[in-house]
Structure 1
Amino acid sequence: MLGKWLYIGGSSDLPGSRSLGHLMTSVWLDITATTKSNILNLIQTQRIYGKCSSLLYNVTFENSTMLIEQPFYLKEVYLPTDCSDCLVVYEEITSGKDTFTSLMLFSKTNSVSPAVLEMFKTQVECLQMPSAIMIDTNSEICPDNISPSEGLSALNSLLEAKMGHRVARILDSLFDMFVN
Structure 2
Amino acid sequence: MKALCAAVIVLSFISVGQPAPLTCDTLKKPVEKGPNLSGRWYYIAISTEVCLPTTLLDSIIWPSFSMDVTSKDTPNLYDGLARVKMYGYCVNESESALYVNNKIYDVDSENAPTGDPDVLLHTSCHDCLAVKTDDVIDSLVLLSRRSTVTTAELQEFKKQVECFGWSKPVVLNTDHDFNNCLTIDDNMTEEAAEHFLKNFFPKMIERIKNTHHNIFKCLSDMVAYYGSSPFALK
Aligned twin of 2:48? 12
- For normalisation by structure 1, the TM-score amounts to 0.71
Counterpart mapping for 1:84-99 below 5 A: 84-93=126-135, 99=136
The structure richer in strand per residue is 1
Q: Is the 8 A contact 1:33 1:41 kept in 2?
A: yes
Task: Determine whether 1:119 maps to 2:135.
Answer: no
1:39 equivalent among 58, 69, 77:
77
Q: Deviation at 1:75?
A: 1.7
CA distance in 2, matches of 1:147, 1:65: 31
SS in 1 for 2:168: coil
Q: Is the 8 A contact 2:64 2:86 kept in 1?
A: yes
Q: Is the 8 A contact 2:147 2:176 kept in 1?
A: no
Q: Is the 8 A contact 1:19 1:175 kept in 2?
A: no
Q: Deviation at 1:78?
A: 1.1
Counterpart mapping for 1:19-168 below 5 A: 19-22=56-59, 23-68=61-106, 73-93=115-135, 99-137=136-174, 139-143=175-179
Offset from partner CA, 1:29-78 (integer Å, 9 cap, x none)? 01110111121101110112331111101011100100115597342111
* C-alpha spacing 1:59/1:128, structure 2 compared with 1 (3 Å): same
Unmatched 5+ stretches in structure 1: 94-98, 150-170
Q: Deviation at 1:177?
A: 2.5
Q: Deviation at 1:142?
A: 1.3
CA distance in 2, matches of 1:24, 1:49: 8
Q: Deviation at 1:24?
A: 2.9
Q: Which has the larger radius of gyration?
A: 2
Larger RCO: 1 or 2 (CA < 8 Å, sep 6+)? 1
CA distance in 2, matches of 1:16, 1:84: 28
Letter in 2 for 1:79: L
4+ runs of 1 displaced by more than 6 Å?
144-149
Identity of aligned residues (%): 25
Unmatched 5+ stretches in structure 2: 1-36, 186-207, 219-234
* C-alpha spacing 1:76/1:175, structure 2 compared with 1 (3 Å): farther
The structure richer in helix per residue is 2
SS in 2 for 1:100: coil
SS in 1 for 2:137: strand
